[in-house]
């Protein structure tokens, strides 16, 4: 194959790849929070280490194919060749070194980026309780007594402690530009700690398939100033809606593309009640009641111990 034919053969695959990538919004590689930045570094380091093997292998494949092509009569023909100590050393040593480095990085980052680990900060964190449904997200602010659907807000440079559960099938809570994703499961509370270092509106989603309306199960995370957050709270408190038993029951019905909705008041203990209704040993009159023993609500660690 001459040079012109090779260029022609590569033109269309490269053009197709360019079109494909043009539709990608690589939010994970454009982090706006400390956790996301650390995860981006981890991704780039791991990719770079793997390319140390991939690129030489691809280069050697092309070089060998060119050197030992049928038309090259000067190539060495050695049908009985079967072993090279030097090649064996390189082929085994380099991958082993890379795997050892990756294992060390993975061990350290797993502990450093543990989603249950609170973020170090001199600022008091904000607690937001997230509940996944079919097919929407409900966010409860227990310290402020308000709630919202498919939108949440918090100040920049303030840690956000997420308490997450599901009132339906399993989902996964994920804000790509801020960091880690974690699963939302019925009858269980998972936790996630994030922070936004820059103001903006960041796309959130469920990254776990959960049925027909899954593709539209998105929400907006608004990182703003302290005054902007207070304005958002005031807007929620100005709503004519309250998140009581009746309203909550209506929310649990499957719906798609539900618009952003605010609730001025939330029934106390609602989040714990959502979890407790799936626990057979809890006595619940109805959604919104306080569980008999709040301490009995299982956490991620409780389930892990039970599995052991």
User: Which CATH number covers residue 214?
Assistant: 2.60.40.420
- Sequence-distant (≥ 6) Cβ neighbours of residue 150 within 8 angstroms: 136, 137, 218, 219, 220, 258, 259, 260, 261
pLDDT at 70 over 70: yes
Residues 227, 152 share a domain: yes
Quote the number of domains for the chain. 2
Structure confidence by residue, pLDDT tens digits, 102-142: 999 999 998 999 999 999 999 999 999 999 999 999 999 99
What domain range includes position 106?
A: 27-68+81-113
* Alpha-carbon span 274 to 277, nearest angstrom: 6
Give the pLDDT score at 175: 96
Residues 208, 292 share a domain: yes
Residues 243, 96 share a domain: no
Give the pLDDT score at 219: 96
- Sequence-distant (≥ 6) Cβ neighbours of residue 183 within 8 angstroms: 164, 170, 171, 172, 173, 190, 208
Residues 219, 173 share a domain: yes
Asked if the structure places residue 150 within a domain, the reply is: yes
Asked if the structure places residue 6 within a domain, the reply is: no
Asked if the structure places residue 135 within a domain, the reply is: yes
Residues 232, 106 share a domain: no
- What is the DSSP annotation of 146-163? EEEESEEEEETTS-EEEE
- Cβ contact 228:185 at 8 Å: no
pLDDT at 284 over 50: no
Asked if the structure places residue 248 within a domain, the reply is: yes
pLDDT at 303 over 60: no
Residues 210, 91 share a domain: no
pLDDT at 25 over 70: no
What counts of helices (H) and strands (E) characterise the chain? Answer: 7, 13
Look up residue 271 and give its two tokens. 């989040």
62, exposed or middle or buried, with CB in 10 Å at 0-12, 13-18, 19+?
Answer: exposed
pLDDT at 301 over 60: no
Residues 132, 103 share a domain: no
- Cβ atoms within 10 Å of 298's Cβ, excluding its own: 17
Give the pLDDT score at 32: 93
Structure confidence by residue, pLDDT tens digits, 242-255: 999 999 999 999 99
Residues 169, 95 share a domain: no
Residues 195, 91 share a domain: no
* Alpha-carbon span 3 to 142, nearest angstrom: 67
Mean pLDDT (whole number) for 27-31: 88
| pTM of this structure | 0.77
Strands (E), the chain: 126-133, 136-141, 146-149, 151-155, 160-166, 171-174, 182-184, 190-194, 200-206, 218-224, 242-243, 261-263, 265-266
- Cβ atoms within 10 Å of 269's Cβ, excluding its own: 15
pLDDT band at 26 (very low <50, low <70, confident <90, very high): confident
Per the listing, tokens 């409900």 go with 138
Q: What percent of the chain has pLDDT over 90?
A: 68
* Alpha-carbon span 175 to 35, nearest angstrom: 11
Asked if the structure places residue 287 within a domain, the reply is: yes
pLDDT band at 73 (very low <50, low <70, confident <90, very high): confident
């Amino acid at each position: 194959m001459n040079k012109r034919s090779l260029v022609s053969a590569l033109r269309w695959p490269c053009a197709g790849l360019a079109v494909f990538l043009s539709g990608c919004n690589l939010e994970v590689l454009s982090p706006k929070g400390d956790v996301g930045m650390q995860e981006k570094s981890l991704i780039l380091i791991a990719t770079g280490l793997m390319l140390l093997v991939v690129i030489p292998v691809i280069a050697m494949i092309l070089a060998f194919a060119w050197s030992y092509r049928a038309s090259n009569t000067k190539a060495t023909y050695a049908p009985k060749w079967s072993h090279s100590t030097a090649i064996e050393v390189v082929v085994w040593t380099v991958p082993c070194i890379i795997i050892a480095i990756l294992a060390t990085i993975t061990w350290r980052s797993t502990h450093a980026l543990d989603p249950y680990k609170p973020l170090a900060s001199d600022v008091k964190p904000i607690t937001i309780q997230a509940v996944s449904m079919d097919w929407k997200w409900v966010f409860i602010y227990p310290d402020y007594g308000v709630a919202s659907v498919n939108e949440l807000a918090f100040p920049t440079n303030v840690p956000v402690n997420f308490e997450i559960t599901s009132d339906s099938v399993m989902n996964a809570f994920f804000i790509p530009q801020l960091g880690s994703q974690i699963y939302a499961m019925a009858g269980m509370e998972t936790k996630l700690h994030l922070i936004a270092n820059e103001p903006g509106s960041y796309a959130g989603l469920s990254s776990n398939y959960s049925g027909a309306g899954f593709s539209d199960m998105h929400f907006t995370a608004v990182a703003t100033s302290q005054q902007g957050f207070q304005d958002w709270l005031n807007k929620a408190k100005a709503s004519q809606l309250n998140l009581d038993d009746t309203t909550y029951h209506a929310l649990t019905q499957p719906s798609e593309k539900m618009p952003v909705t605010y609730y001025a008041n939330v029934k106390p203990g609602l989040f714990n009640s959502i979890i407790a209704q799936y626990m057979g040993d809890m006595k619940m009159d109805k959604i919104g009641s306080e569980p008999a023993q709040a301490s009995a609500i299982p956490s991620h660690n409780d389930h892990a111990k039970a599995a052991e």
